[in-house]
Structure 1
């Protein structure tokens, strides 16, 4: 019995170590992202031509901080899409309307239409990319640079240093990273 309990404890601790190591970090390469969009099609980063990389924003329809950032997210897309770094939003709960009815695909579609998003809004199937990139809160930005091997992760973190939509940020983290890449 002791051997069984010890084996189970060892197995659980090893599995948590393995799971903790799966999140990619800045400097590592993400092979691709391909997810269902609010337009009803699969959006595949590799299929997008004439890009130098992407700005991913993990956001949900009901998060107060995401709502406050919507104008800044749209402004990032407008500013950098023409420079080869289009924005792609990802909803972590998009594929589960039972557990997350206010953040799933129907709510994402409604938000994208109401706000007239000019960028794709994708549903993360079973949190695949949310966990792979270690996303723990929304909104979180990821800046990817296109390489032959895939997409080099250049940044994971906040969009800027000001959550209050009425105030101007002093440090625009995403813009600094993308401007350096250009």
Structure 2
């Protein structure tokens, strides 16, 4: 299988001849030096480049045409800001407090328009029904009743009309969101219409963030009872040899992984593995992440950041007959239920020379630190949430996720729940 290396997926230094630029301004007390610019391919963020703080701002020069979703991530303070590009300069001002973003002020026309549309859509969805109920308790001729009628009229009349020639991506995103994902229209769209959309859409589909939610809606369309037939019909039209076909295939594999549809994930992951054509970076990343965590594979080593309850420098340095790797978070309700069960068996596991290594997808340091006081096993975290390296390296889509390794760091089991962990280790 031959791999195409796509330049936009690699970290590189830009030429000064930019197609457009992205400028982010922050207050002087925002303690961040580095910022990383991302584009989007399907649901996967693609690192483009990084810049250093200069006079409380970052300017990224983008050398190619790009219309779609973008993101700037601040790794040291774990902040990010999302926006769109229409192949024109983007200007954003951030208001911050204690190194956290409190408000985003979009200063370019495209992002102002997109933000206004999103705000109006949220108001229409969340506020309009409440106002309609409140109106029943007030007479129309009272001052408050008149004000309610006025506000209801404004929200009811809110339109997402956009000049397509002037704002092509804003038009593309909102038109297709309204058609394929809005509660009002999505149920009226049949599968053939979705297939036509994926087949005939322009390149903004990949950068729009619409692929995954529309695929989920497509699979659920009409209470779908034949997933294989629906997926095969879509992939046959798109052709898995094409870049779009491979992006959709990659997204489907991830969807089946997230929803624990193991049979379908195995089927289409096998299809991807057996492709004889050149493959894109998008599909290659999915294949690599899954290969990293196959039963029998050597678990990719991880160098600890600031691990507690150990002097080991990495997972490989931890010596044990078996290791339980658990990816978790202090904000995860399932972790709240399952990890105490692991704790109850900790001494028994330790007596069998079985080590537990917890890798947290937390963001808040205080929350993480307070939680691990109760866990005597090895704990570490990058404190970057889903921006951490764990999700890509170990194909993590949810918490908690468990792996059991042997003494040589080979993956011998991937239990679904803590009960399965204890059963596999014969301590239940």
Q: Same fold (TM over 0.5)?
A: yes
SS of 1:179's equivalent?
coil
> Structure 1 pair 155/131, CA: closer, same or farther in 2 (3 Å)?
farther
The structure with the largest alpha-carbon Rg is 2
User: TM-score w.r.t. structure 2 length?
Assistant: 0.31
Report the counterpart of residue 153 of structure 1 in structure 2.
411
Cα RMSD between the aligned structures? 3.1
Q: Would the aligned equivalents of 1:90 and 1:122 in 2 still touch at CA under 8 Å?
A: yes
Task: Tell me, yes or no, if structure 1 residue 27 matches structure 2 residue 274.
Answer: no
Matched, 1:130 2:400: no
Equivalenced residues, count = 150
- Give the TM-score taking structure 1 as reference length: 0.68
Q: 1:42 to 1:106 in 2, by over 3 A?
A: farther
The aligned residue for residue 39 of structure 2 is none
> 1:45 is paired with a residue of what secondary structure?
coil
Matches within 5 A, 1:36-75: 36-37=305-306, 39=308, 43-49=313-319, 51-75=320-344
Aligned to 2:360: 91
Deviations 1:129-159 (A, max 9, x none): 3322222111111101122xxx111122422
The Cα shift of 1:20 comes to: 0.4
1: CA distance between counterparts of 2:422 and 2:306?
Answer: 25
Residues 37 and 120 of structure 1 are in contact (CA less than 8 Å); yes or no, is this contact kept in structure 2? no
The one of 344, 351, 358 equivalent to 1:82 is: 351
Once residues 66 and 76 of structure 1 are traced to their aligned partners in structure 2, the CA distance between those partners, rounded to angstroms, is 16
Q: Which runs of 4+ in 1 moved over 6 A?
A: none
With over 3 angstroms needed to count, the CA separation of the structure-2 counterparts of 1:105 and 1:132, relative to structure 1, is same
2: distance between equivalents of 1:54 and 1:142? 8
The answer as to 2:368 corresponding to 1:121 is: no
- In structure 1, C-alpha distance between the alignment counterparts of 2:286 and 2:304, rounded to whole Å: 23
Contact 2:296–2:412 (CA under 8 A) maintained in structure 1: yes
Structure 2: unaligned runs, 5 residues or longer: 1-64, 66-201, 207-241, 248-279
Distance 1:129 1:73 in 2: 21
Q: Answer whether contact 1:105 1:123 (CA < 8 A) is retained.
A: no
Higher relative contact order, structure no. (Cα contacts within 8 Å, ≥ 6 residues apart): 1
Task: Give ranges in structure 1 of 5+ residues lacking alignment.
Answer: 94-99, 161-171
